[in-house]
Amino acid sequence: MSSSSSRRRTSHTPHRRAAGVALAGVAALLAAAVQAGAASAAPADAPAGRVNPAHAALKLSPSQRAELMRDASADASGTAAAIGLGTQEKLVVRDVVKDADGTVHTRYERTYAGLPVLGGDLIVDTAKSGATQRVIRATNASLKVPDLTPDVSKAAAEQKAVARAKALGSSKSAADSSRKVIWAATGKPVLAYETVVGGLQDDGTPNELHVITDAATGQKLYEYQGIENATGVGNTQYSGQVSLTTTQSGSTYTLNDGARGGHKTYNLNHGTSGTGSLFSQSSNTWGNGSTSNAATAGADAHYGAATTWDFYKNTFGRSGIRNDGVGAYSRVHYGNAYVNAFWDDGCFCMTYGDGSGNADPLTSLDVAGHEMSHGVTSNTAGLNYSGESGGLNEATSDIFGTGVEFYANNSSDVGDYLIGEKIDINGDGTPLRYMDKPSKDGGSADYWYSGVGNKDVHYSSGVANHFFYLLSEGSGAKVINGVSYNSPTSDGLPVTGIGRDKALQIWYKALTTKFTSTTNYAGARTGTLAAAGELYGTSSAEYAAVQDAWAAVNVGSRSGGGGGGDGTSFENGSNVSIPDNGPAVTSSITVSGVSGNAPSDLQVSVDIVHTWRGDLVIDLVAPDGTAYRLKNSSYWDSADDVHETYTVNASSETANGTWKLKVQDVASYDTGYIDDWKLTFP
C-alpha cells in the first residue's frame, strides 16, 4: 500500500493503522511456525534453462479437478487445525493446482464464526506424501474478533454505500446486497459489512461497487469496483479472415463454440442487460469486415474468446477461465456509443461496446485477452482491485493479453508489447499503454516507489508491465516484429531477458500458486522468485533474471548485489518473521574466501516486507559483535517495506566470518519479515 496513511500516538502508546497487509510470501515449513516468503529449491538435477518437469502443472480433466476439490473439502477441518487456525475458523476450497511431482496447491477462502473473511484467503502446498510443505497467507494477522454484534446497523452501512455509489455516478437508490463479514485485508481484522450497489457508472459501464464498512464505527474501510475494465479503447481492430468454430442445426448456424466449453456470442443490439439474441444465420460466413454488418463485431469477439481459450489451454494447460472446462459468453453492441469493454465475473461474460459514434467496436484481440484474463485472476489469486494489488491485477491482464496476441501469430495483428495499439484513443495513433517504458503514456509508473499504490490501477500496473518486458526481452534498444523499443532500468544497469515463454510460465505459476488477494509488489517479487525456483532451479539464469528484472524496476536487489555484479556477493534469501513489538531477530551470512578486512564501502542490500516500516530498527552486526546502525525507527515513516542498499565503513572488521542482519519492530500492530539481504565486497 502507499505511504499516505497517518497516525497519532504519544510516547510508548501502541498505534493502529489502516493499511494493506503485505503478502505473507511463500511460507517456510510449518514446524517453523509458518514463516513466510521462502522459495522452494528445485531438485539438484533440474535442467538449467528449462522447466523442471516435476514442478510443471498437470493438465487436469474437469472430473480430476472436481475430485481433488472434493478431497480437499473433506479434509478442510483437519487442514485448518494443522496450520494453526482457531476453533471458529473454517476453510472453504476455492481452487486446486497439481504439479507433476504430486504436489497439490490448494487455495482456500476462510470463514470465522460462519462469516466470510475477506482478505483471509490462503494457499496450502501438500506433498505427494500428504505432508504440508508451506502455507501462503493473504494476512498474517490473527483472527480474533471478540464482538460479533454490530454497533452500526446494516441499513446505515447500506445508506453510506449507496451515497458513495451515487457520488461515482450510479443512479441506484438502494443496495443490491449487504452481508456481515470479517475484514482482514487491511490492518487488524474487524467485524464489517460488505455492501454491493449496482446500476450504471457515469460512463455507462455496469456498476458493482463493493463498500466495506466497519460495523463498530461506521467508517469506510475499503471500496472496489467489481466490474473491471480497460477504459478509452476506440478504433476497430480486425484480425483478417479467421476460422471460427460454430454450431449448425439444420440449415441454421450459430456462434456457439462447442469445442471450447460452449462459448456463445450474443448481439445486445445496443441494450445494456440480459444476453440479447444469439448470433444466428443461414450462412456460416460472419460479417463483412466493417460495421455495416452487425456480425463483424460478433466474429471478432468469437475469435478473441477462442484464441484466449487456446492460449491458456496450450500454454498453461488451463481449461477455460475457471479451469473447469466451462466456456464464458460474449456480448457485443452494448449500449449506445459505449467506449469500453469489460469482464463481469457475476455473469461470467465478456462485453464490448461499439465505440465513439458506434463506429469502432472494441473487439480487438488484445482487449479480449486482457479482459478475459481479469476472469482468470478473479478465479485464482483474486487480487484486490485497489492499491498495489490492483496494479498487479491490471498488469496481469496486460501480460496475458500480450501473450494472447503473440500466441495468435496473426499477420493482421502481429504480437507486440503495446496495449490497445490499434485503438488510437488520442486520435494520434498512439497505444493505450507501453510495456517497455510505461511512462510514455503520460501517467504510468516505470518503477516502484512508496506512493505508487495511490495511482489509478491502470497506471500503477506499469511497474509489473515493465518488469515483465525486461524479464522477457531485456533492457536497451531493440526491434521486435517491426516495433522499436528502448527499455530503461531504475539503476542504470542492464537486464538480459529470458524470453517471453519462460516469463509467462513464471507469472502464471506465481498467480495461481503464490499470489493472494493482498499481494503487493514486494510480495509479487517473492512469489515470482518462488515460481522461478520451482520451475527452473534457484541457481538458474532464470531465477537470477527475475531478481534482476525486479531490481531494475526498484523492487529488491540484484542477483549479483547492488554493484550490478562487480565485486563478491554473499546472500541469504531465507525469510525470517519479525515479531510485532517484540525482540530483535537476526539473519546470518557467512563470508569466506575474502582476504583481509572488510572495505570502507561495504554494500548491505536489505529487502524487508513490513507494513509501516518506521517501526523498524535495523543493524548490521560484524563477526566480532560490533553493530553498525543502518536504520533508526521513525514515527513519521508510514510507508511499507524496506528496499535499500546501505554503505557501511567496516574497514576495522575482518571480512571473513558470520555477519548478521539484526531487525527489531519497536511498536505495535504491524508485522512483516526479512525477505532477503546481501553483502557485496567491492
Instruction: Give Rg (Cα) of the chain.
Output: 25
Q: Which three cell numbers, joined as nine digits, stand for 230?
A: 480497460
Find which of 48-57, 192-201, 426-435, 439-448 is predicted with most confidence, using mean pLDDT: 439-448
The amino acid at 53 = P
Question: With 50 as the cut, is the pLDDT of residue 33 above it?
Answer: no
Q: What size, in residues, is the chain?
A: 682
- Taking CA atoms, 226 is separated from 164, 343, 378, 550, in Å, by 15, 9, 10, 29
Half-sphere exposure of 537 (CA within 13 A, CB side): 14
- Summarised one tens digit per residue, pLDDT across range 355-398 is 888 888 888 899 999 999 999 999 999 999 999 999 999 999 99
φ/ψ of residue 114, rounded to 5 = 85, -5
Question: With 90 as the cut, is the pLDDT of residue 18 above it?
Answer: no
Q: Which three cell numbers, joined as nine digits, stand for 93?
A: 476450497
The amino acid at 561 = G
Q: Which three cell numbers, joined as nine digits, stand for 334?
A: 452494448
The CA dihedral of 442, 443, 449, 454, to the nearest 10 degrees, is 160
The amino acid at 329 = Y
- Summarised one tens digit per residue, pLDDT across range 563-617 is 333 457 788 888 899 999 999 999 999 988 888 888 888 889 899 999 888 999 9
- Summarised one tens digit per residue, pLDDT across range 209-231 is 899 999 999 999 999 877 654 43
Tell me the angle at which helices 462-473 and 521-536 cross, rounded to the nearest 10 degrees.
30
pLDDT band at 145 (very low <50, low <70, confident <90, very high): very high
Q: Which three cell numbers, joined as nine digits, stand for 662?
A: 539484526
Query: Matching CATH topology for 234-345+356-364 and 568-681?
Result: no
Residue 491: its pLDDT value, please?
Answer: 86
Q: Which three cell numbers, joined as nine digits, stand for 552?
A: 531494475
According to CATH, the topology of domain 568-681 is Jelly Rolls (2.60.120)
- Summarised one tens digit per residue, pLDDT across range 157-212 is 999 999 998 887 777 889 999 999 999 998 899 999 999 998 766 656 567 889 99
pLDDT band at 426 (very low <50, low <70, confident <90, very high): low
- Alpha-carbon distance of 308 to 343, in angstroms, equals 13
Of residues 241 and 478, more confidence is placed in 478
Average pLDDT, the chain: 86
pLDDT band at 269 (very low <50, low <70, confident <90, very high): very high
Instruction: Count the helices and strands in the chain (H runs, E runs).
Output: 11, 31
φ/ψ of residue 443, rounded to 5 = -140, -25
**Residue linked to cell 510505461:** 438
Burial of 58 (0-12, 13-18, 19+ CB in 10 A): middle
Average pLDDT of the segment spanning 263-278: 95
- Alpha-carbon distance of 96 to 76, in angstroms, equals 13
pTM for this prediction: 0.70
First to last CA, the chain: 34
Of residues 69 and 603, more confidence is placed in 69
Distance of CA 209 to the CA centre of its chain: 20
User: Could you tell me what percent of the chain has a pLDDT over 70?
Assistant: 88
**Residue linked to cell 504480437:** 415
**Residue linked to cell 512483516:** 672
Question: With 50 as the cut, is the pLDDT of residue 6 above it?
Answer: no
Q: Closest Cα partner for 102 from 80, 78, 75, 125?
A: 125
Would you say 608 and 675 are in contact if contact means Cβ atoms under 8 Å apart?
yes
Q: Closest Cα partner for 137 from 30, 19, 17, 5?
A: 30
Residue 226: its pLDDT value, please?
Answer: 78
- Alpha-carbon distance of 303 to 297, in angstroms, equals 10
Q: Closest Cα partner for 358 from 376, 333, 380?
A: 333
Lowest mean pLDDT among 123-137, 410-424, 578-592: 410-424
Question: With 50 as the cut, is the pLDDT of residue 232 above it?
Answer: no
Average pLDDT of the segment spanning 110-130: 95
Residue 461: its pLDDT value, please?
Answer: 97
- Give CB contacts under 8 A, 24+ apart, made by 250-253: 251/282, 252/280, 252/281, 252/282, 253/280, 253/281, 253/282, 253/283, 253/284
Question: With 60 as the cut, is the pLDDT of residue 9 above it?
Answer: no
pLDDT band at 13 (very low <50, low <70, confident <90, very high): very low
Query: Using the 8-state DSSP alphabet, how is residue 671 labeled?
Result: -
Q: Where are the alpha helices (DSSP H) in 537-590?
A: 541-552
User: For strand 115-126 and strand 104-112, is the pairing parallel, antiparallel, or unpaired?
Assistant: antiparallel
Question: With 50 as the cut, is the pLDDT of residue 20 above it?
Answer: no
DSSP 582-620: ---EEEEEEE-S--SBPPTTEEEEEEEEESSGGGEEEEE
Active site residues: 371, 458
- Enumerate residues 6+ apart whose C-beta is below 8 A from 71: none
Q: Which three cell numbers, joined as nine digits, stand for 673?
A: 519479515
pLDDT band at 447 (very low <50, low <70, confident <90, very high): very high
Question: With 70 as the cut, is the pLDDT of residue 280 above it?
Answer: yes
- Alpha-carbon distance of 365 to 309, in angstroms, equals 12
Q: Which three cell numbers, joined as nine digits, stand for 640?
A: 511499507
Residue 237: its pLDDT value, please?
Answer: 52
Over the range 364-382, which residues count as b (16 or more CB within 10 Å of their CB) and which as e?
bbbbbbbbbbbbbbbbbbb
Give the 3-state secondary structure percentages of the chain, helix then strand then coil, rounded to 5: 25, 25, 50
Burial of 273 (0-12, 13-18, 19+ CB in 10 A): exposed
Residue 206: its pLDDT value, please?
Answer: 65
Would you say 645 and 557 are in contact if contact means Cβ atoms under 8 Å apart?
yes
Tell me the angle at which helices 462-473 and 541-552 cross, rounded to the nearest 10 degrees.
140
Helix (H) or strand (E) holding 462: helix 462-473
Distance of CA 297 to the CA centre of its chain: 31
SS3 663: strand
**Residue linked to cell 454497533:** 151
Of residues 131 and 203, more confidence is placed in 131
What architecture is domain 234-345+356-364?
Answer: Roll (3.10)
φ/ψ of residue 430, rounded to 5 = -90, 150
Write down the domain spans for the chain. Answer: 154-215, 234-345+356-364, 568-681
Q: Closest Cα partner for 162 from 151, 178, 149?
A: 178
SS3 622: coil
Average pLDDT of the segment spanning 315-330: 94
Q: Largest Cα–Cα distance of the chain, in whole Å?
A: 89
SS3 375: helix
Q: Closest Cα partner for 374 from 424, 328, 432, 436?
A: 328
**Residue 404: count of CB within 10 angstroms of its CB:** 25
- Enumerate residues 6+ apart whose C-beta is below 8 A from 522: 22, 23, 555, 556, 607, 609, 640, 641, 643, 675
- Summarised one tens digit per residue, pLDDT across range 90-117 is 999 999 999 999 999 999 999 999 999 9
